[in-house]
Structure 1
Amino acid sequence: MRVFSSRRAKLRRALLGGALALTCSACVSIYRDHGYVPNDEDLAAIQIGVDTRESVAETVGIPGASGVLNDSGYYYISTRIRHYGATEPKPVARELVAINFDPAGRVRGIERFGLEDGRVIELQRRVTDNGEADKTFIRQLLGNLGRIGPGTLLNDQ
């Protein structure tokens, strides 16, 4: 009888230790990094008024985003997002490097912005919902059964 209670106590301690380990690991912050921002040494290699779009792309890489107009700039964006437990992920760091060009295509200026320089702008995807996307084939088939009436079967209108 003594051996059985000893095993039960060991099992109980192992279960409590496992539950404690799972509880502690659930509260660990997880960080995800997105995007690319060139470092200061690469940006220092760009000469204002001399370098062109092509030379900037060779020096620091192709940007993640660029302006809509031909004479607008290159934008390098990096974001660090913190996931903590069951809470909603939040951006904790965002950095943007904007390289502006003049109409001749030469570098006009280089600017660096951080999360502290402005507010967080949440990107939203706005798509018109037609209501059909979440319906499976069987749901659509069964939904059409309700549209059949006695007049349809007897060819009465």
Structure 2
Amino acid sequence: MNASQRRQFSVIRAGVLLVALAVAGCTSVYRDHGYVPTEEDLAKIVVGVDTRDSVAESIGTPGASGVLNDSGYYYVESRFRHYGMREPEVVSRQLVAIRFDQRGVVSGIERYGLEDGRVIPLNPKVTSSNVEDKTFLRQLLGNLGRFNPGAVIQ
């Protein structure tokens, strides 16, 4: 094989590699988050008999619980699709809500999902801050116009 044939071969090999990388970059990647008990596990829970402790013991502790008076256990499972440079898309989401009465006994089990026509928004942020998108230097220079010499003299 002479030098020009080697160059042609390396150009072809580089082209095939670029095409393979382009195709691989455009494939969907799926990520799963959370945990939802199976129907078999939920069938073991008896409404009106099981308590918080027995539910946690039989199917595990949830990722979230009720905000007001610990009214229930909420198991959430989400599946996200990543495609190229696009923002991740929620493909499926399931929520299993196990509700308790004042005595801590199971009063109901419900399952919700995207197919129910309700999008269940999950936001990890509890409070928002107006400072998060500013750098230290931008904050420092932004305060220069707010300087009041009269406040320093008094």
- TM-score w.r.t. the length of structure 1 is 0.80
How has the CA–CA distance of structure 1 residues 129 and 87 changed in structure 2, closer, same or farther, with 3 Å as cutoff? Answer: same
Corresponding residue for residue 9 of structure 1: 8
Q: How does 1:2-151 map to 2 (within 5 A)?
A: 3-70=2-69, 72-124=71-123, 125=125, 126-130=127-131, 134-136=134-136
Bigger radius of gyration: 1
Aligned AA for 1:19? L
| TM superposition shift of 1:146 | 9.3
Amino acid at match of 2:20: A
Deviation at 1:140, TM superposition (A): 6.8
Q: Distance in 2 between matches of 1:10 and 1:24?
A: 21
- What is the CA–CA distance in structure 2 between the aligned matches of 1:9 and 1:30, rounded to whole Å? 34
Contact 2:78 2:90 (C-alpha < 8 Å) held by counterparts: yes
Distance 1:19 1:144 in 2: 49
The CA distance in 2 between the partners of 1:145 and 1:111, in whole Å, is: 55
* Structure 1 letter corresponding to 2:21: L
1:142 deviation in Å? 7.4
2:89 partner amino acid: K
Residue aligned with 1:88, SS: coil
Give the letter for the 1:25 counterpart.
Answer: A
CA shift digits 1:58-90 (9 cap, x unpaired): 011111111112261111000000001111110
Structure 2 length-normalised TM: 0.81
What runs of 5+ residues in structure 2 fail to find an aligned partner? 150-154
- Computed over aligned residues only, the root mean square deviation of the Cα atoms, in angstroms, reads 2.6
Spell out structure 1 runs of 4+ moving beyond 6 A: 139-147
Equivalences, count = 146
